[in-house]
Amino acid sequence: MPINAGTKTSRSSSNRAKPRSAPVRPDAGASEMQRMTVESPETLLGYYSQMVLIRSFEQRAAEMYTRAKIGGYCHLNLGEEATVVGLMAALEPRDYLFTTYREHGYALCRGIDSGRVMAELFGKSTGVSGGWGGSMHLFDTEARLLGGYGIVGGQIPPATGAALAIAYRSEPGPDAEAVMCLMGDGTTNIGAFHESLNLASIWHLPIVYVVINNGLGMGTTVQAASGEPELYKRGCSYRIPGVRVDGDDVVAVRDAAREALESARVDRQPRLLEAVSARLRGHSVVDPARYRSAQDVERAQELDPVANLRSKLLGEGVMDPTMAADVEAEAEAEVARAVAFAEGSPLPPVSELFAHSYATPVPNCPGNLPGESPFGSSLASSIAGAGK
């Protein structure tokens, strides 16, 4: 069951959240099983297949990073698969998605070929961003995935601007476009979060802000960093309704996101959705996560959404062990093909090093490759000739 926040909050101490070791999840209990029983087996199997593909892709990405096939920063969706699939199941193809730098799974669920995603991680020219973005900057206008942002909260103002553009060019309604903007829990403390939510409220923008709360802003707990650690309440001062949902329940996440998007489309009422979902690894591939206790790690493993959904689908007879093995083998095979595609793809040519510095030509734009004269070839020749 999602937990709802009203549009008004009390400042009395009796209503303030008491410190907790981890965010409180809505109690799924029997309600989760009830939701699953009304879903078609095909739908549930489809969700499981997507979650398994994300898990396999991220595990292989971690392996490729340790083998120095992937450089730079690399952040994984391990443990957040149900949240990823649930959110993307609610998003329509016409909608726009702005993400954090932990976005591989979202790109896969938006229909971007796994080979193109892996090639981007490898920095290859066949990647979704032509090898220019790497792990943190996946971008595809056809899929309406507008980043991949490496700066914490950098995606929030552009996402709000996209929602403003939609509000200018179209009328509200069930078929209208909407924007979904993802962020981590630590992002709710920066200025751009509050400025953007305030504008979204007063301008009635069709946007849903989604906080993926894994309880840790890098290595700092939400309780230690936020005066209001129940993050779905953070929009109340802007009269933006908020909901907290169990991020390990793919159907609950989908339903909550659909309701929020419908409100954004039809009523032009922005929404704030908080999905509580623990990550299974450190903040990035190279983070050993020593700030987590053994109990925290064990609890995260118990909440593993992929393993738990597998058990539930087997228990309900939605799939049998052979079907489960087939799904997992298919995911492994697809990821193996993605790695082979990435390894066999060419690097971007050095001649295009400055090709995308600006969208349009700009005077004095840098264009010299390493070792070349900063004055240009003709001027350099003249100087060399004068010295003879």
Candidates 70, 66, 57, 52; CA nearest to 343 is 70
Domain with CATH 3.40.50.970 in the chain: 3-9+18-348
DSSP output for 310-359: HHHHHHTTSS-HHHHHHHHHHHHHHHHHHHHHHHHSPPPPGGGTTTTSSS
- Is the entire prediction scored with pTM above 0.75? yes
Q: What is the pLDDT of residue 177?
A: 98
Phi, psi (degrees; rounded to nearest 5) at 374: -70, -10
167-182: per-residue pLDDT in tens? 999 999 999 999 999 9
As given in the structure block, the two tokens for residue 321 are 């062990």
292-325: per-residue pLDDT in tens? 888 888 888 999 999 999 999 999 999 999 999 9
Q: What is the pLDDT of residue 372?
A: 76
195-222: per-residue pLDDT in tens? 999 999 999 999 999 999 988 888 888 8
Beta partners for 245?
275
Place of tokens 């007063």: 202
Q: 196-232 b/e with 16+ CB inside 10 Å = b?
A: bbbbbbeeebbbbbbbbbbbbbeeebbeeebebbbbb
Distance of CA 386 to the CA centre of its chain: 57
CB 312, CB 45: distance < 8 Å: no
CB 33, CB 312: distance < 8 Å: yes
Q: Which residues of the chain have pLDDT under 50?
A: 7-21, 30, 378-380, 383
First to last CA, the chain: 82
Q: What is the pLDDT of residue 2?
A: 65
User: Which CATH fold topology does 3-9+18-348 show?
Assistant: Rossmann fold (3.40.50)
Give the contacts of 325 (CB within 8 A, at least 6 positions apart): none
Q: What is the pLDDT of residue 138?
A: 97
Element (H, E) at 207: strand 207-213
